[in-house]
Chains A and B, each alone.
Chain A
Amino acid sequence: NAGVTQTPKFRVLKTGQSMTLLCAQDMNHEYMYWYRQDPGMGLRLIHYSVGEGTTAKGEVPDGYNVSRLKKQNFLLGLESAAPSQTSVYFCASSTDQGVADNEQFFGPGTRLTVL
């Protein structure tokens, strides 16, 4: 099992450019999440999904869109990147059948810099 994988690992964008971050999991998890991690801010939830075809807003959704067309994939889009979106992005997945409810499995992260 690869677990949770994220592509790309690193990316540099110019202000106004768009990009999509891909998250994939091979654990058949229902729930998937996108977080951003900034120094001194911990992890903040951007969007999440409780199943294929569903998405919901988290704590900091503005400037991002997501799609969950397939159960194993959760895409995070930036339509017009801004310097404030410079961050490390983590994807996670979970199942309510886990050892502990809501135990989340994390990907290795994507480091995004917006100039």
Chain B
Amino acid sequence: GEDVEQSLFLSVREGDSSVINCTYTDSSSTYLYWYKQEPGAGLQLLTYIFSNMDMKQDQRLTVLLNKKDKHLSLRIADTQTGDSAIYFCAAVSNSGYALNFGKGTSLLVTP
């Protein structure tokens, strides 16, 4: 099955850029996703990238996809304290419906 790996923690200062990295094993996933989980809440889709794209920009978010290395990254520009959350990388599982999630990266933004 699909394995999705992420680093577990990242700490940045407010105003700096954050980069969260993810690697995956199965290159057949049509879309790759980034979800955000705020404390005590469920996951919300933050952004996604179609597998035939190298980059997608959405306001402060930039997603980079390197299909050769099976590496996905999420860059948050001008990180704010409200960006503190857990970020999950996800890819479609063998079922074709469910998602395989990484373990999540806890982002801490300090003033």
Interface residues in chain A, defined as those with a beta carbon under 8 Å from any beta carbon in chain B: 4, 31, 33, 35, 40-43, 45, 48, 50, 56, 58-59, 90, 92, 94, 99-109
Contacts and interface: CB of A to CB of B under 8 A. Distances in A.
A33 B98 contact: yes
A31 B42 contact: no
Interface residues on B, range: 20 to 34
Given A42-B88, A42-B102, A106 B97 contact: no
A104 B104 contact: no
Interface of B: 1, 8, 30-31, 33, 40-45, 48, 50, 88, 92-93, 95, 97-104
Contact of A109 (B41, B92, B99): B41
B98 A41 contact: no
Contacts of B92: 101-102
Contacts of B42: 4, 90, 92, 106-109
